Amino acid sequence: MRWGVASLALVSVLHTSIAVHAQAPARAPQKSSADAPSASKPDQPADAAASVRDRARTAYGAGQDAYAAGQFATAEVQFALADSLVPAVQAKFWRAMSLDQLGRAADAFEAFSRVLASPGKDQLGADKLLVAEQRHRALAATPAELTVTTTPTGAHINVSGVDLSSPTPLSLRLAPGRHVIRVSLDGYEPQQLEINATPGAKLTPTFALIRPAARPSPGPGSSLSAPPAIPALAPSTPTERSRVPGYVTLGIAGASAVVGTIFGIRALGDKEDYDASATTSKADDVERNALIADMAFGVALTLGITGIVLLIADDPLPEQASLPRAEERANLRVLPYATTHGAGATAALTF
């Protein structure tokens, strides 16, 4: 009887011990210092790690639902959250696709670059990997948008050796790569800036133009010496003007007219082909040839007028009038002035 009671007690203790061990949570395997989310807690419990994974799955699922519904801004946020919780190439890919759908070319280019640089990119599968490579190449050719402003406005702009006809402020599209922007304006010191135009970037450089340093004024007590007498200049002899620039200009104008005629005829022929069988490529041919013809005729007209002016203009250089002698100047007052549009001086002579 005593043995039976003792056996029953031992079995009860064993059952209690097993139940306690079954309810105790298991700990996650230790991670290296590089994988630990916090230095203060190197041994993160398994339930905390599972919570992070659950949050990542929830965010990823919300991103998929938003992407399918066409809510790409929400999808991008959810995929970014999922990737930040548990880095995965799938979340990176769909975040890049969401940015691409939003038209954010610069951000999408960087996102696809991260996808292709990911060690686990092969997990995407051949189809998605091909899409990522194609979109990355297409976005790499997306021009950047450049908007240049200056203070004051109206400055001349040169981009990578190309002079632009429009003054500041101006906007243009730049091919990806490095460019040098040079800004110049009469009465101000020129400036330049080197920029790196990434695909689809929006660049807005601003230049604050400054005037050259003024010459130091004489200190108090210093006397100004009288200006030296200017000798009278002898009348200059008119020189005969060369006709060569006029002939060269007219020659270029004639060549431009020929080019315009050729491309105009081609544009008319392409238009007939397009009317007979309308395709996108034929429409592009018509538009391209017509544009070249218009440009060529514009150049021909401009240079033709310039060449005619150079040929018929025959204005000899005016004779230099002799300056009055110093003793004939009774009273000369010079008044400098400066405005926002320029500077100069006015003079008043009384005798």
CA distances from 65 to 62, 72, 99, 321 (A): 5, 10, 16, 87
What is d(CA 87, CA 95) in angstroms, rounded to the nearest whole number?
12
Flag residues of the chain having pLDDT under 50. Answer: 1-42, 222, 317-330, 332, 334, 337-343, 345, 347, 349
Residue of 70, 71, 65, 121 whose CA lies nearest to 93: 121
DSSP string, 180-229: EEEEE-TTS--EEEEEEE-TT-EE--EEE--PPPPPPPPPTTPPPPPPPP
Q: Rounded to two decimals, what is the model's pTM?
A: 0.43
Burial state string for 314-325 with b = 16 or more CB within 10 A and e = fewer than 16:
eeeeeeeeeeee
Which backbone phi and psi does 319 adopt, to 5 degrees? -70, 145
Residue position matching structure tokens 């965010």:
59
Strand partners for 343:
338
Residue position matching structure tokens 């200017």:
230
pLDDT for position 322: 47
Cβ–Cβ < 8 Å for 82, 95: no
pLDDT for position 319: 45
CA end-to-end span of the chain: 149
What is d(CA 194, CA 213) in angstroms, rounded to the nearest whole number?
25
pLDDT for position 241: 65
What is d(CA 85, CA 92) in angstroms, rounded to the nearest whole number?
12
pLDDT for position 153: 92
SS3 at position 39 = coil
